[in-house]
Amino acid sequence: MKFSLKNKVAVVTGGGSGIGKSISKTLAKQGAYVHIIELNAENGTITKNEIEQDGGLADAHVCDVANQENVISVINEISEKNTIHILINSAGVAHIGNIEKTPEADFDRIYKVNVKGVYNCIYSIIPHMKKHGGVIINMASVAGSVAVSDRFAYSMSKGATLTMTYSVAKDYIDYGIRCNAISPARILTPFVDGFLKNNYPGNEAEMLEKLSKTQPIGRMGVPQEVADLALYLCSDEASFITGTDFPIDGGFIKLNG
């Protein structure tokens, strides 16, 4: 079977909602034993149960990726029972605003989750992967590569994610560790639904259409499309790929002027 992950063990941060949830379920469907890392215990448990109901294998772990001690403890606990082959850094938070509308507290919040969280997870898992190789995928964003209005702190964090990706790919290629990034444009997730509901009550449909048209292809992406790309990059079929960013953006980067 193409893109089989049979006998592979995957760790997915933020694996209980949005893109992370789609990735968790997709990897499990292809045979991986998926460990869901979630701050929200309920979301993690729901996704775990859905995977098991579909015949897959999963565990859920409550963990704050911004807390290194917490992350190391969870990764070590998983590694005692399973060899970890795959790490997907999907946990993340967003912020809207230019630098003048980015208070220090918001900047720190974005940094702790989107930058330090990625660092903590890679830092914790690298000693284990050095023994047998593995795959690391970091969820970046088109905002890390091109200017997007009012995304100052978020863009900062995703630019950092990209450079961490390149550095890890370079430093650990001789250990059989591949590290790549995925850079989505606008993806229709519960975050987008909440953003529209909170900021444009009663006008959600109109604003959704407007946001969709900012993508040259004329629509937003859906989480499953990102999950399918992640699946490919995790599989042996992608064994020649490392140190690369993969935009999945409906033409946003190259066709937007």
> Hey, is 5 helix, strand or coil?
coil
| pLDDT tens readout for residues 36-70 | 999 999 999 999 999 999 999 999 999 999 999 99
Mean pLDDT calculated for residue range 209-215: 87
CA distance 84 to 8: 7
197 falls in which pLDDT band (50, 70, 90)?
confident
* Segments making up each domain of the chain, as ranges: 9-185+222-247, 188-220
What is the model's pLDDT at position 257? 56
The catalytic site residues sit at 154
Residue 32's contacts (CB-CB under 8 Å, 6 or more residues apart) are: 5, 6, 8, 9, 10, 57, 85, 86, 234
- Burial class from Cβ neighbours inside 10 Å (0-12, 13-18, 19+) for residue 72 reads middle
Task: Please determine, for residue 12, whether its predicted confidence score (pLDDT) is greater than 60.
Answer: yes
| pTM for the predicted model, two decimal places | 0.95
Task: Please determine, for residue 199, whether its predicted confidence score (pLDDT) is greater than 80.
Answer: no
Task: Please determine, for residue 1, whether its predicted confidence score (pLDDT) is greater than 70.
Answer: yes
Architecture in CATH of 9-185+222-247: 3-Layer(aba) Sandwich (3.40)
Average pLDDT, the chain: 96
Task: Please determine, for residue 222, whether its predicted confidence score (pLDDT) is greater than 80.
Answer: yes
Q: How far is CA 143 from CA 112, 117, 149, 150, 159, in A?
A: 18, 18, 9, 10, 8
CA distance 208 to 210: 5
Task: Please determine, for residue 256, whether its predicted confidence score (pLDDT) is greater than 80.
Answer: no
CA distance 232 to 91: 20
What is the model's pLDDT at position 201? 86
